[in-house]
Amino acid sequence: MCQLKKIQRIWRRIWRNSEAAFLTASEIVDARFAVIRMIQAQHSSSEISLLNSEGILLKGNLLRKLKPFVRKNPPILPYSSALSRTFVCYGHLSSRLGGPILKLSFLLRHTWILGRSRLVKLEVRNCLTCQRAEPRLASQLMGNLPKDRVTPSRSFNISGLNYAGPIQVRKTKGSRHRSYKGYIALFVCFATRATHLEVVSDLTTTCFLVAFHRFIGRRGICRRL
């Protein structure tokens, strides 16, 4: 009854008497804890009775893993309470529409809500401002693959060619042999996506033909390159 009188007094000061609508910080804190105690008495009366009598909850209770104590911080609120949704909405606005992690850290300063992550995600999903700030972009559908990509065939029967580099290449080991610029010729099989690598010294036609002859000598002649 004392808690209810505190809430009623603050409500009258705000809505009935505009000249005395200013509340002190202690009155706001007292009102918040009074409302929390009322919600706890409504949703967790049996748990509070067990804690007062035996000091421990039964196995299988959702609150048991939190190791709750009577009149200790932070206060615990159920998921289905309207006050829990009010706290989440207040944290959403106070964090200036920040991300879920910022909202969760703000809530933990005031209360511990069971299933608070789901409430926060629901609040963000229903916030029109957040949805406009982070719209869901349309993704481009992948086109049909070429016929050579989906037709089974021998490895490297149909291949693609590309160059990578430049890289530093040495003919032999040793400090007296300096490195020179080289490249990598990549032969990719269209059917199996296998890759064959050949080192070339430059990008001329002669070096390519040498690398190509080494490639077909190892993998077989390509029907198409």
Asked if residue 169 lies in contact with residue 199, where contact means CB atoms within 8 angstroms, the answer is yes
Gap between the Cα atoms of 57 and 65, Å rounded: 9
Give me the phi and psi of 145, to 5 degrees please.
Answer: -75, 150
pTM exceeds 0.85 for this model? no
Q: What is the pLDDT of residue 183?
A: 92
Place of tokens 């000249």: 19
Give me the phi and psi of 169, to 5 degrees please.
Answer: -125, 140
Domain range list for the chain? 74-136, 147-170+179-219
Sites in the chain below the pLDDT cut of 70: 1-23, 48, 50-56, 58, 60, 62-73, 97-98, 134-136, 174-175
Asked if residue 165 lies in contact with residue 197, where contact means CB atoms within 8 angstroms, the answer is no
Q: What is the pLDDT of residue 3?
A: 55
